[in-house]
């Protein structure tokens, strides 16, 4: 078990990242709060030390993605798309448009796109984090890119 | 910065969300710590219980008398020993004995030290200094041989030419019922058998020398022989004096020679074991 201070530091350091992954999957604040608590409680109870900050960060990404999926799996929310969240969260029309486009992607593409374009992970790293083959991640990224190009235009990158 | 980075950078965890999460973690941490503490409390309580039970058992064993040593001159004092041969109680069995018992503190002493401490008491020394004073020890114990050997190695025993006898647990009980020490009870029974009219109360305050004189001058002389004889069959004693073994041997030799036939019955009736040394010497 980690100390309370370590868990608080993790909330400060990785809170924004966890929030963004929640945005990709969840519709409302209550669900986000639930996932937040689940993720950081798991962190608090995690016994073995992390090799590095990168290891710690990748662990939190995987736990957050799984927590979001578990939450959605347990309720009648599979079909819900958190589009309205984009309006609440973005300050400019351009940002809102991009967020809405990403959130509209099929679930399996959203994580790969976010992790690649925002967090800067390579396809191989994403494959490790999400426990998928690297080629699968490449396919998701290619399809996601294509869908984004369709909705945002050719120069979205 | 690509457009996705720009769009997502505006998404941040609200301060309230972080605060709520930190509070939640704090509550969970306290609960977990509490669980750990409860476990520790239970473990400590179990350990304390084990120590307590062990302590009670040890105390019970330590304070249970398993051996008795009666020391009789005129003062009669009886020591109660625990499993570790340490004195846990000492009682005076006549007026002089009670006075001495109140004066000395023998608690927790090894019995050999306690014997010497008693014999060095000023009143006890005065009694022992009288002419013809007789110092008699009577032991009742499962490890009678060991205790007898210990007593015989005591300075006081050697100095005052003590004798040592043994008795069974039933005799201890009978003696205490009559308010007598084991040594006096033994003399009381022998006097009765010799036809001497004496009450336990009278027996209580006569000196051992006086009791022995009474026994020697008993009206039924054959009884005396019987008594000596009975020493051979079931009673035996040993003496500490340097010439005691030969002297004692003569006495016992006489007894066995003259009264073997009629002595056995009364001797067995006594139920005493007068030490092993002289009895084995006979054989």
ipTM of the complex: 0.87
CA distance B23 to chain A (A): 9
Q: Which residues of A touch B7 (CB under 8 A)?
A: 90, 94-96, 98-99, 102
Domains by residue range for chain A, with CATH = 1-80 (1.10.1740), 81-157 (1.10.10.10)
User: Residues B54-84: pLDDT tens digits?
Assistant: 999 999 999 999 999 999 988 899 999 999 9
Nearest CA to B94 out of B16, B15, B211 is that of B211
**Can you tell me the distance from the alpha carbon of B88 to that of B76, in angstroms, rounded to the nearest whole number?**
17
Q: Which residues of B touch A90 (CB under 8 A)?
A: 7, 10-11
Lookup: tokens for B130: 């009288």
| Sheet of strand B76-81, all strands in order from the earlier edge strand to the far edge | B87-92, B76-81, B67-72, B136-140, B163-166, B238-239
More confident residue, B246 or B7: B7
User: Residues A34-68: pLDDT tens digits?
Assistant: 999 999 999 999 988 899 999 999 999 999 999 99
CA A4 to chain centre: 24
Contact (CB<8Å) A19/B13: yes
User: Residues B103-122: pLDDT tens digits?
Assistant: 899 999 999 999 999 999 88
Contact A111, A21 (CB under 8 A): yes
Picking from B1, B21, B32, B36 by the largest number of A CB atoms within 10 A of its own CB, the best residue to mutate is B21
Q: Which residues of A touch B2 (CB under 8 A)?
A: 117, 157
Q: Which residues of B touch A94 (CB under 8 A)?
A: 3, 6-7
Picking from A25, A118, A145, A149 by the largest number of B CB atoms within 10 A of its own CB, the best residue to mutate is A118
Name the residue in chain B with its Cα closest to that of A86: B11
DSSP H or E segment with residue B127: helix B122-129
**Interface list for B 12-51 with A (CB within 8 A):** 12-14, 17-18, 20-22, 24-26, 28-29, 32
Contact A102, B4 (CB under 8 A): yes
Dihedral, B3, B5, B10, B12 alpha carbons, nearest 10: 160
């Amino acid at each position: 078990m980690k100390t309370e201070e370590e868990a608080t530091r993790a909330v400060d350091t990785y809170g924004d990242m966890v929030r963004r992954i929640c945005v990709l999957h969840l519709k409302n604040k209550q669900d986000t709060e639930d996932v937040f608590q689940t993720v950081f409680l798991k962190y608090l109870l995690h016994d073995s030390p992390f090799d590095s900050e990168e290891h710690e960060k990748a662990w939190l990404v995987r736990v957050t993605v799984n927590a979001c999926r578990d939450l959605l799996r347990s309720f009648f929310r599979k079909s819900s798309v958190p589009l309205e969240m984009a309006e609440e969260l973005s300050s400019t029309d351009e940002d809102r448009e991009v967020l809405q486009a990403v959130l509209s992607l099929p679930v399996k593409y959203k994580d790969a796109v976010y992790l690649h374009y925002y967090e800067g992970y390579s396809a191989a790293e994403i494959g490790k984090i999400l426990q998928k083959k690297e080629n699968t991640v490449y396919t998701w990224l290619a399809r996601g890119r294509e869908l984004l190009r369709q909705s945002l235009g050719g120069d979205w990158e | 910065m690509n457009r996705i980075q720009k769009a997502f950078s505006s998404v941040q965890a609200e301060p309230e969300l972080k605060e709520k999460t930190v509070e939640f973690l704090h509550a969970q941490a306290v609960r977990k710590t509490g669980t750990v503490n409860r476990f520790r409390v239970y473990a400590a309580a179990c350990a304390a219980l084990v120590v307590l039970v062990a302590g009670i058992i040890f105390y019970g064993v330590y304070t249970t008398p398993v051996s008795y040593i009666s020391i009789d001159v005129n003062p009669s004092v009886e020591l109660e020993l625990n499993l570790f041969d340490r004195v846990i109680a000492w009682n005076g069995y006549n007026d002089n004995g009670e006075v001495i018992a109140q004066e000395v503190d023998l608690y927790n002493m090894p019995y050999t030290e306690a014997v010497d401490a008693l014999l060095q008491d000023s009143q006890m020394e005065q009694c022992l200094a009288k002419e013809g004073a007789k110092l008699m020890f009577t032991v009742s114990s499962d490890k009678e041989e060991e205790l007898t050997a210990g007593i015989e190695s005591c300075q006081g025993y050697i100095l005052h030419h003590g004798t040592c006898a043994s008795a069974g647990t039933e005799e201890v009980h009978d003696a205490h019922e009559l308010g007598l020490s084991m040594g006096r009870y033994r003399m009381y029974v022998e006097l009765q058998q010799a036809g001497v009219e004496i009450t336990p109360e009278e027996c209580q305050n006569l000196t051992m020398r006086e009791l022995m004189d009474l026994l020697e001058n008993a009206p039924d002389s054959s009884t005396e022989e019987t008594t000596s004889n009975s020493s051979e069959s079931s009673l035996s004693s040993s003496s500490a004096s340097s010439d005691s073994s030969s002297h004692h041997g003569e006495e016992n030799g006489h007894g066995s020679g003259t009264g073997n036939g009629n002595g056995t019955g009364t001797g067995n009736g006594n139920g005493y074991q007068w030490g092993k040394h002289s009895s084995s010497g006979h054989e």
